[in-house]
């Protein structure tokens, strides 16, 4: 795990209601962690790959996503997207999250990690 | 009018024939055995003055009146007194006037029968209508209290009820079972989209009715999350009812939304700023466009919704997260919501003046 990501994880995770998280780095490597038995790391990594593809697909619809939230019956999957194609996915239990500010902060801070910016590629299109 | 307003059934008869009014006052007072309190007005101005002072269970309006006829008066009442039970009656009924009366909000369309049997039949119908109006529950006006607050109180109290909401154009019901919002419906809309549409209404009236099981439960989310989403959509001026943009405030867009009471609990939103709804597309589950505004290429938005549905289905097979509800997308310039349900699909794109996400 890259040092900057490790520092970010230690500073921001876990969160209240967080079941799993996964970070996809610009080189497409994945780092995942499941905090309870709800999901397996393999499930999470497969899902994150799909989530990244789905986010890229939005550009073809002239939508430039910065953050996504897939709302399901039992969970919400928050995805923070960076210009360098790194992304962070947080799998959160679908109930009122006590520390919403912490969730928001984590997603925003992920985009602010400096070392990921060296290979930044601007997303095309826009709303 | 006496102080028995809580006990007696309150009726207002509006007719330009004073002799007829005097007659029905005598007849119905006798038939009710003192259970009715009857007010009369010879024109719409008198009727409005009475309604400003007293709440009526039922207002009975003669169709054929000079200056402002019965139909016009019904429509006026629908605007000035939404939710007021009204009955049209006439001595010259036609199929067309019946249709127009019922469409204008009349609960009943009755013929003026001046025989004892005729009076008896009309009395029974009016008495039942007033009884239903007074027994079904409390009535409130949303101008002073937000519908969200009413719903929140009901959920916090773990109550079971049906919240009936009506304006002069929209009727809807929200089903609450043991503090959980389980269903909402309004016209062709059902589920969350109906809930959000009803909660976005700015003015209207509501009744609490005893809980009855809906034909189908369409809402499963936590009520806190649902109300937060409703607050957000309401802030953004999202309109779900094509005929009610003025009632939801969407017609006033762009506007500066008031700060949401509940902060976002899920997807990112851009920093608060003037919000403008740029695109709306509502279609049936079969893909038929029901409402559209601002979409340059509706077909492309339909394709996006189909893609989102497919992607969500794939995600559901990978991780056990349950049924898909919606995708919320924060962009540098605004926000997009794609909601997919079996019976409808909704695409809403809004923009904000201030960029709030990187």
Determine if the peptide bond prior to B70 is cis (ω within 30°).
no
Q: Is residue B4 part of a domain?
A: no
Distance separating alpha carbons of residues B42 and B23, to the nearest angstrom = 13
DSSP category for residue B255: B
Give the integer Cα–Cα distance in Å for A126 and B333: 8
A67–B325 CB contact, under 8 Å: no
Say yes or no: B102 and B218 in one domain.
no
Q: CA-nearest residue of chain A to B330?
A: A67
Contacts of B303 in chain A (CB under 8 A): 61
For residues B92 and B165, membership in a common domain is answered with no
Radius of gyration of chain B (CA): 24
B81 or A79: which carries more pLDDT confidence? Answer: A79
What is the per-residue pLDDT for A57?
86
3 state SS of A116: helix
Dump pLDDT digits (tens) for A100-117: 778 888 888 888 787 654
> Please, what are the domains in chain A?
3-114 (3.30.450.30)
Nearest to B87 by CA among B143, B24, B172, B141: B24
**Is B320's CB within 8 Å of A50's CB?**
no
**Contact (CB, 8 A) for B141 and B165:** no
By CB atoms closer than 10 A (0-12, 13-18, 19+), residue A102 is middle
DSSP secondary structure of B17-83:
-HHHHHHHHHHHHHHHTT-EEEEEESSHHHHHHHHHHS--SEEEEES--SSS-HHHHHHHHHHHSTT
Quick check: is B97 in a domain?
Answer: yes
- B118-130 burial: b if 16+ Cβ within 10 Å, else e: ebeebbebbbebb
In CATH, what number is assigned to the domain containing residue B278? 3.30.450.30
Residue A95 C-alpha, separation from nearest chain B C-alpha, in angstroms: 6
Tell whether B16 and B87 lie within a shared domain.
yes
Q: Say yes or no for a CB contact (<8 Å) between A67 and B314.
A: no
Percentage of residues in chain A having pLDDT higher than 70? 85
What residues form DSSP beta bridges with A21?
A: A33, A90
Sign of torsion over alpha carbons B261, B266, B271, B273 = negative
Task: Report how many domains make up chain B.
Answer: 3
Domain with B343, as residue range(s), is 267-358
pLDDT of residue B269: 44
Q: For residue B235, what pLDDT is reported?
A: 62
Query: B70 lies in a domain?
Result: yes
Say yes or no to pLDDT of A119 above 50. no
What CATH number should be reported for the domain holding residue B102? 3.40.50.2300
Along the 358 residues of chain B, how does pLDDT read in single tens digits? 444 445 688 999 999 999 989 988 998 999 998 889 999 999 988 998 898 878 888 999 999 888 888 888 888 887 777 678 899 988 887 888 888 888 888 888 888 877 888 888 888 889 888 876 555 455 555 555 667 778 887 887 778 888 888 777 788 899 999 889 999 998 778 888 888 888 888 777 777 788 889 988 888 877 877 887 777 676 655 556 655 544 444 333 222 333 222 222 333 344 445 567 788 888 888 888 887 888 888 899 999 999 999 999 989 988 999 889 899 999 988 889 998 888 788 898 888 754 333 3
A95 vs B353, higher pLDDT: A95
Residue B158 and residue B257 in one domain: yes
Copy the structure tokens of residue B27: 């007849």
For the record, the structure tokens of B82 come out as 């939404």
Judging by beta carbons within 10 Å of its beta carbon (0-12, 13-18, 19+), is residue A41 exposed, middle or buried? Answer: middle
Is residue B252 domain-shared with residue B272, that is, in the same domain? no
* Last residue of one domain, picked from the residues B242, B265, B288: B265
The sign of the CA dihedral A122, A113, A90, A69 is negative
Q: Which residues neighbour B227 within 8 Å (Cβ) at sequence distance 6 or greater?
A: B148, B151, B152, B199, B262
pLDDT at B355: 37
At B13 the pLDDT is 95
- Contact yes or no for B207/B137 (Cβ under 8 A): yes
Subunit contact B267:A65, Cβ cutoff 8 A: no
Least CB–CB distance from A68: residue in B221, B307, B327: B327
- Looking at the structure, do residues B170 and B67 belong to the same domain, yes or no? no
d(CA B142, nearest CA chain A) in Å: 26
| ipTM here | 0.87
Structural domain contains residue B292: yes
A58 near B CB under 8 A: yes
Asked if residue B234 is part of any domain, the answer here is yes
Residue contact A54–B329, C-beta within 8 A: no
pLDDT of residue B308: 93
At which residue do the structure tokens 């809004």 appear?
B350
């Amino acid at each position: 795990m890259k040092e900057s990501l490790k520092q970010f994880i230690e500073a921001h995770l876990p969160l209240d209601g967080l079941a799993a998280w996964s970070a996809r780095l610009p080189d497409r490597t994945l780092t995942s962690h499941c905090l309870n038995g709800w999901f397996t790391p393999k499930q999470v990594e497969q899902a994150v790959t799909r989530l990244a593809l789905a986010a890229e697909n939005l550009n073809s619809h002239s939508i430039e996503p910065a953050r996504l939230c897939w709302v399901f019956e039992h969970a919400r999957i928050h995805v923070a997207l960076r210009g360098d194609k790194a992304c962070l996915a947080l799998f959160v239990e679908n109930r009122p999250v006590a520390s919403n500010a912490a969730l928001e902060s984590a997603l925003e801070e992920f985009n602010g990690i400096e070392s990921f910016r060296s290979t930044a590629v601007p997303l095309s299109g826009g709303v | 009018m006496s102080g028995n307003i809580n006990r007696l059934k309150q009726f207002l008869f509006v007719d330009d024939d004073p002799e007829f009014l005097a007659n029905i006052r005598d007849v119905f007072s006798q038939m009710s055995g003192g259970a009715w309190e009857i007010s009369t007005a010879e024109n719409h101005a008198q009727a409005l003055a009475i309604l400003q002072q007293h709440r009526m269970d039922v207002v009975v309006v003669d169709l054929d009146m000079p200056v402002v006829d019965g139909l016009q008066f019904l429509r006026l009442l629908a605007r000035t007194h939404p939710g007021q039970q009204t009955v049209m009656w006439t001595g010259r009924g036609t199929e067309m006037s019946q249709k127009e009366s019922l469409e204008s909000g009349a609960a009943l369309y009755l013929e003026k029968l001046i025989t004892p049997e005729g009076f008896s039949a009309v009395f029974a119908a009016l008495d039942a209508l007033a009884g239903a109006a007074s027994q079904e529950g409390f009535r409130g006006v949303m101008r002073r209290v937000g519908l969200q607050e009413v719903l929140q109180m009901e959920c916090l109290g773990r109550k079971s009820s049906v919240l009936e909401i009506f304006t002069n154009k929209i009727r809807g019901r929200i089903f609450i079972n043991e503090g959980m919002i389980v269903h909402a419906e309004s016209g062709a809309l059902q589920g969350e989209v109906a809930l959000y549409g009803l909660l976005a209404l700015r003015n209207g009236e509501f009744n609490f009715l005893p809980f009855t099981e809906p034909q189908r439960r369409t809402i499963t989310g936590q009520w806190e999350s649902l109300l937060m989403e409703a607050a957000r959509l309401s802030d953004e001026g999202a309109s779900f009812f094509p005929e009610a943009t003025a009632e939801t405030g969407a017609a006033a867009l762009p506007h500066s939304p008031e700060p949401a009471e509940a902060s976002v609990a899920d997807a990112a939103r851009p920093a608060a700023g003037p919000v403008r709804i740029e695109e709306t597309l509502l279609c049936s589950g079969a893909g038929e466009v029901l409402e559209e505004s601002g979409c340059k290429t509706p077909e492309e938005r339909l394709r996006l919704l189909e893609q989102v549905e497919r992607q969500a289905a794939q995600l559901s097979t990978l991780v056990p997260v349950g049924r898909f509800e919606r995708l919320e997308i924060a962009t540098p310039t605004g926000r997009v919501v794609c909601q997919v349900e079996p019976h409808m699909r909704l695409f809403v794109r809004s923009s904000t003046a201030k960029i709030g996400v990187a």
